Amino acid sequence: MSDSSSAAHEALMQFLYQAPIGLVQTTLDGEITMINPMSAQLLMPLAPRGDLSNLFDVLQGSAPHLRDQAAAAAYPGGEVCDGLRVSVGPPPIGDDIPPTLSIRLLRLDSHMLMCSVTDITAALRLERQHVEAELRDASRIDSLTAMPNRIVVLERIEHTLERARIDPDHRFAVLFINGDRFNRVNVTLGPAAGDELLRMMASRINAAVRQRDVVILNSQGDQTAGRLGVDEFVVVLEAVPSIDVAALVAQRLVDALRKPYAISGGLVHSTASVGVALGDGHAADADAVLQDASLAMREAKRGGGARHCVFEPLMKERAWRRASLESELRLAVQDGQLFVVYQPITHLDDGRVAGFEALVRWQHPLRGVVSPIEFIEIAEETGLIGPLGAYVLHSACRQFVLWQRQFDGGAPQVLSVNLSRAQLVESTLVDEVRHALKVSGMAAECLQLEITESLAAESPLIQSRLHELKALGVKLALDDFGTGYSSLASLHLWPVDVIKIDRSFVSQVTTSAHHRVLIEATVMVARSLCMGTVAEGVETEAQADALKALRCDKAQGYLYARPMGSEEASLWLTAQTRAQSQPGAVPALREPLQLV
């Protein structure tokens, strides 16, 4: 061997023996012909009785089939294994990762194998730490919107609350954001569109709170936007100088979230309600501040949505009352505390009774008569509207049949019953109506079911349900017309028979030319579509005369009678029948008997 070749060989040997990884050369049967110190150090814990003469014997406990794999491997350069993990002992105390080697074995030719041995224990530990960090991040980040989740939001509120306890001048605000009628998007366009809407809402919220002009926050301020639930978001504003500044941010959010969303090739119109709570060092904890903001948000929703509302202490009292009413309403449905009242609907041309609208009331044993404004919403939110609505429907149908038998020609011809959204989306509604008609013996054409204008245009599911009800032979009435977003031009799209003009228009029929024109246009369009019209909330003779002049068909309101219990309504009908039977007599519709 030449001097240069000898020097090169010596250099190679030095490299192999000083290499930071283990290198082993063996015969095809595993007999070791060369092993560097690193390999010996790494493999010794595996060697039976300290014998490192055969690699396959050393690895027998971890890779018993390695000898056969080596014999079957192609050559030259055939890979026998790569990344074979071998544990060389138990994990150290306080750790769960054992010392681990990574083995790579190549077949060099028909006789020789080359093996590399690497200690990957530290790499595995780093990998685990990285995974744990990712899991921690995943547990703190909302996967859909990439916003901080509830955990982070509560931490931020708690952090700024601690700061406020130390610094009395430090004030902060929590803004609770909830989408208005988000479920409608899910129902009409599908969950994928709903997810896209949430992502776009999150983007707009982030953009709105990143605007750092002097009107919003001072230089010490900070903000965090996060997602709490399905369509619930929270913004935490720190160093807020006043509630007015927080309200300004809230309105900015309302305005940003009401702009149309480009989804599924079309424009989706959606809005949000925002509750604002100002926090200081006196708050109990983060949950308490968040609850205050949530209560304010619910007040904004009850006010019609698409607005913000600032928390007031009285809201807690109202929330407590609602919670009490919820539990008491469940008992009321079971214990017969609910009853039905009836308000007459009259013909405007001659004052004859056309029918009754059935309304539910709650006779609370301690609170007295509870307003339906209070408990109907609770019934819808809690799922009690189903049994409550069924009770009203069955009771009213039975009473209507009794009146028809008792008064014959003077009997009411139409019974109007309200339906809520919660009832309309129930698949059992049509069967419930069919059953009520059957057991009461009431003719289907005498039953008129009322739905609000906004509900009629809500979704294909609602439209389908309306057509199913029409197939039973019942009539449908569009309630509170004029208060929604629909137009007269869209009336022909709905399977309705009657338009009920909202009281907000009727109340101004004698004082506003604008409202008279709108009522007249509604009547004209309804007539052209063979629909009837009913004016709601008529309270004066002048209003009745004006509506009659505008050719409105029927009316109801306090001018004729307040809602009455069944017995009072029967006496009232008796009085009207007698008055109408007298030649030349004018029906005395203005003086009902005892009212409820």
Task: Transcribe 79-103 into DSSP letters.
Answer: EEEEEEEEE-SPPPTT-----EEEE
State the average pLDDT over residues 524-549: 96
Percent of the chain scoring above 90 in pLDDT = 56
CA dist 245 and 291 (Å) reads 20
Q: What is the pLDDT of residues 342-371, one digit of tens each?
A: 999 999 999 999 999 999 999 999 888 888
Given a contact cutoff of 8 angstroms between Cβ atoms, the answer to whether 453 and 479 are in contact is yes
Q: What is the pLDDT of residues 555-574, one digit of tens each?
A: 999 999 999 999 999 999 99
Average pLDDT over residues 43-62: 92
pLDDT for residue 588 is more than 60: no
Q: Which is the CATH superfamily of the domain at 150-311? A: Reverse transcriptase/Diguanylate cyclase domain (3.30.70.270)
pLDDT grade, residue 38 (50/70/90)?
very high
For residue 294, give the 3-state DSSP assignment: helix
User: Hey, is 69 helix, strand or coil?
Assistant: helix
List the domain boundaries for the chain. Answer: 2-124, 150-311, 333-580
Instruction: Categorize the per-residue pLDDT at 398 as very low, low, confident or very high, splitting at 50, 70 and 90.
Output: very high
How many CB atoms within 10 Å of residue 514?
Answer: 10
CB-CB contact of 561 with 594 (8 Å)? no
Q: Per-residue pLDDT averaged across 401-424, rounded? A: 91
Model confidence at 4, pLDDT cuts 50, 70, 90, reads: low
Judged against a pLDDT cut of 90, whether residue 590 lies above it is answered with no
Distance CA 341, CA 297 (A): 33
Q: Tell me: pLDDT of 53 over 50.
A: yes
What's residue 593's pLDDT? 37
Closest CA to 304 of 273, 347, 341: 273
How are strands ordered across the β-sheet holding 223-227? 223-227, 232-237, 172-180, 271-279, 308-310
The share of the chain scoring above pLDDT 70, in percent, equals 91
Q: Is the pLDDT of residue 82 over 70?
A: yes
476 contacts 466 by C-beta, under 8 angstroms: yes
The least confident of 248-257, 457-466, 508-517 is 457-466
49 HSE (CA, 13 A, CB side): 3
Q: Give the bridge partners for 233, in sequence order.
A: 177, 227
- Give the model's pLDDT for residue 511: 94
More confident residue, 579 or 435: 435
Which residues share a beta bridge with 31?
54
Question: For 493-505, what is the mean pLDDT?
Answer: 92
Both tokens of 462, joined, read 């609602």
The three-point CA angle 410-414-418 to 5° equals 145
Which range, of 11-20, 39-48, 319-328, 449-458, averages the lowest pLDDT? 11-20
Cα(81)–Cα(396) distance, integer angstroms: 82
145 or 13, which is more confident: 145
Over residues 83-107, mean pLDDT: 90
Tell me the CATH number for domain 333-580: 3.20.20.450
Q: Which residue has the higher pLDDT, 462 or 294?
A: 294
**To the nearest whole number, what is the mean pLDDT of the chain?**
88
Inter-helix orientation angle 191-210/182-189, to 10° = 140
Report, at the CATH architecture level, how domain 2-124 is classified. Answer: 2-Layer Sandwich (3.30)
448 and 466 in contact (C-beta within 8 Å)? no
pLDDT range class, residue 212, cuts 50, 70, 90: very low
pLDDT at 11 > cutoff 70: no
Tell me, rounded to whole angstroms, the distance of Cα 460 from its chain centroid.
Answer: 19
pLDDT category of residue 105 using cuts at 50, 70 and 90:
very high
Mean pLDDT of 149-165: 90
14 pLDDT tier (thresholds 50, 70, 90): confident
Provide the whole-model pTM. Answer: 0.61
Q: At a CB cut-off of 8 Å and minimum separation 6, what does 44 contact?
A: 50, 52
pLDDT value of residue 486? 58
- Residue of 286 and 134 predicted with greater confidence: 286
User: Which residue has better confidence, 140 or 414?
Assistant: 414
Q: Are 392 and 353 in contact (CB under 8 A)?
A: no
